[in-house]
Amino acid sequence: MMAEVCYNKEHRFGDGGEDMDELEATIENIVFQAEDGKFSVFRVRGGKMERISVVYKGMPPFVGEQVRLFGKWTEHPKFGRQFQATVCQTLQTSSAAGIERFLGSGAVRGVGRAMAARIVEMFGEDTLKIIGEQSYRLTEVSGIGKKKADTIAASYAELSDMKELMLFLEEHGLSSNYAAKIQARYGNTALKRIEDNPYCLANDVVGIGFRTADRLAMSMGLRPENESRIKAGIEFALLQTASAGHTCLPEDKLLAETARLLQVAYAEVYEVYKKLIKDDLLRTEEFAGTRLVYPEYLYRAEIGVARRLLYLRDKVNRIWQVDYQSIIANWEQETGLKLAEAQIEAISASVEHGIFILTGGPGTGKTTVVKGILAVLEKAGCKILLAAPTGRAARRLAESAGHPASTVHRMLEYTPNGETYFFGRNEENPLEADAIIVDEASMLDITLAHNLLKAVSVGCRLILVGDVDQLPSVGPGTVLKDIIRSKMMPVVRLNSIFRQAALSPIVLNAHRINKGLQPECDICNDFCFTEINDETAAAEYIVDNYVRITASDGWEGVQVLSPMHKNPCGVMKLNKLLQERMNPSALGKTEIMSPNGLLRTGDKVMQIRNNYEKDVFNGDIGRIDRINGTTVSILFPVRPEGERVDYAQSELDELQLAYAMSVHKAQGSEYASIIMPLVPSHFMLLQRNLFYTGVTRAKKRVILVGSRAAVNTAVSKDDMRKRYSLLAERMQEESNLI
């Protein structure tokens, strides 16, 4: 086929429906492909035409393929005339030479250039038909047995399905870059699944949200008021509810939000909603004259937590023939500690009750109480497990308690299973322990708490330790706060700051902030505030201080914590600035593009989700040791020296730059020094518990930067957005039934 430029004004693509030029040609070679698949450069040739460079915003076709491109001709100052393509459609490759180039490009597994030549020599222009429909005939080619033939056929089928899927997505205005993820999830049923229900993508495929799936559905001709669309919209609104920390949502808010999201009448949404209720696809609960709506899994989790807590509270196995009061006294004498009355009360309560909650701020002696509990229970011969919600928090707990600790997920033998997961420890296979201590319990969301409680055997003690005044869990619910609010569980709150801790300006100011008082920043250099009202200048000041502290204390010695991700003093911008200052681009320094931005050898990075196969956890911080092709090797300080953790290109979405991070990400972690911007553009998130949580992450030094008005707001604003949850009320109600 002769490649030619066609000025066919009937071709209209893109949101603006603009006219585009059309080009048909054969792919000769791939010049460049971005690691994230969002950009490529390739050359085409056809007929008597000279080579043409094509710049395409997407994954490139395969060498030898014939394509139809839509875009515009441009003149590049350095590279000359180019075709800027926005749409690339694959055509059936027909010539023997094109087929050979295609097969020899590596696109089909098991076929190299030499084998491609032998296959095409045997079958000519019928090659692709033979591979697709009569693959058994491939055994006629020298060097191909049945197993090899099957591999080639399977690879070509996957490729064909992929190309069909890519074309389908492009035709409906979506990037073909989604095709690989979709096919990985659904295999060769992908197109049928999408055609049956495009909204399945939002539930099943990471990176595709409801809005993208909805755009596809509308492009496929679905009417705005279609029942399946409204059902998907209601489900999405409830999912957003969980993402915002709620376990449920008032009915009127849910319906109004769905109508706004879909741009349909409230009445249309209400009719579909009634059907979902009738079919038991949604759960509702009446409370204080308001009807609350739950996703099924959160409804079950909330009820399960309430009932299990009450059941375990009074089922504790008694420790016979152990005088724990004497054990406490002897332990005080051995350690040289003198416990406060509240601390002794806490240790006693942990022995006497099946469920016990210990809370308090920094410097109030929670760690001492945990050590005392361990001393008593170990003396009594109890088997004890220690855990925390994150890897870093678990390591801190192990160091402070002098006892092994793990993440809650690992303790429960969490196992990913495709898009889902399961816990090896549950009602049928409970944890083998007489006592379980969970630190940083404010980070437990309702689903994790439910799975934990299911795995606690009857008679075992569960001790939850945490600072209830810190930020709540990232996931849905406010478990620790609700348990305390219910007044159904034994709770000891430590309020007194011990003498040694009272010398710390960080501890003193943390408590001042928690009480709604301004921090005292003129005590010493370990807690200081620099007023800079210009946010760009504040960002530069942060970078300068980061460089200065790192030079003396090392790359682990300082952490920037920001309330928000965007704006000049947000996490994203600060990470870019710090990367350029701390680890600039240089000749010979390798780089790779990840879904979360550019990564360079030497960068400080953070693991952003638990990966039990690699034994790295959410919040773990390391440095990129090397980038070899598409493999990134990380050195984590918590691992043995020289032991690297390798990430393939498909796993890079688990990493992000960590020079700066959000306060939420820092929960459960401690750093020698923290630098924290407080600026007007962060107003929406400036609140007391966030400020308090950020300050309590520092062990030695706190540097605050920004405007005095923003600091005042962060201290005074205590109207933390209410999370919809009925856990406390359920516990009270269930208690009345016992």
Q: Encode pLDDT of 354-372 as tens digits.
A: 999 999 999 888 999 999 9
Q: What percent of the chain has pLDDT over 90?
A: 43
Q: How far is CA 563 from CA 454, 531, 661, 691, in A?
A: 35, 17, 9, 8
Query: What's the pLDDT at 403?
Result: 94
Helices of type H across 81-145: 96-104, 113-123, 127-133
Query: What's the pLDDT at 6?
Result: 33
539: left (phi over 0), alpha (psi -120 to 50) or beta: alpha
Closest-CA residue to 518 (of 526, 362, 719, 527): 527
Q: Is the dihedral of CA 32, 37, 39, 44 positive or negative?
A: positive
Run of H or E including 493 = strand 491-494
Query: What's the pLDDT at 66?
Result: 73
d(CA 347, CA 115): 74
Q: Which two tokens stand for residue 309?
A: 């807590």
d(CA 354, CA 479): 17
Query: What's the pLDDT at 174?
Result: 77
d(CA 449, CA 443): 10
Burial class (CB in 10 A: 0-12, 13-18, 19+), 413: middle
Contact status, residue 448 vs residue 610, Cβ threshold 8 Å? no
d(CA 95, CA 102): 11
Helices of type H across 314-418: 324-335, 341-352, 366-379, 391-401, 408-411
Which residue reads 């759960």 in tokens?
Answer: 283
d(CA 668, CA 43): 52
Query: What's the pLDDT at 15?
Result: 43
Q: What is the pTM of this model?
A: 0.77
Closest-CA residue to 298 (of 250, 238, 353): 238
Query: What's the pLDDT at 177?
Result: 67
How many CB atoms sit inside 10 A of residue 334's CB?
A: 9
Q: How much is the CA Rg of the chain, to the nearest whole Å?
A: 30
Q: Which two tokens stand for residue 321?
A: 């023939």
| Identity of residue 556 | E
Q: What angle is formed at CA 97 by the lines to CA 95 and CA 99, rounded to 5 degrees? A: 70
Query: What's the pLDDT at 421?
Result: 72
Closest-CA residue to 3 (of 20, 22, 25, 21): 25
β-bridge mates for residue 384, sequence order: 435
Contact status, residue 28 vs residue 51, Cβ threshold 8 Å? yes
d(CA 62, CA 33): 12
Quick check: helix, strand or coil at residue 295? coil
| Identity of residue 462 | L
Query: What's the pLDDT at 5?
Result: 34
Weakly modelled stretches of the chain, pLDDT under 70: 1-19, 33-38, 46-50, 63-64, 91-94, 105-107, 167, 176-177, 320-322, 417-420, 499-502, 522-524, 719-721, 738
d(CA 49, CA 159): 28
What phi and psi values does residue 110 have, to the nearest 5 degrees?
A: 90, 0
d(CA 423, CA 446): 15
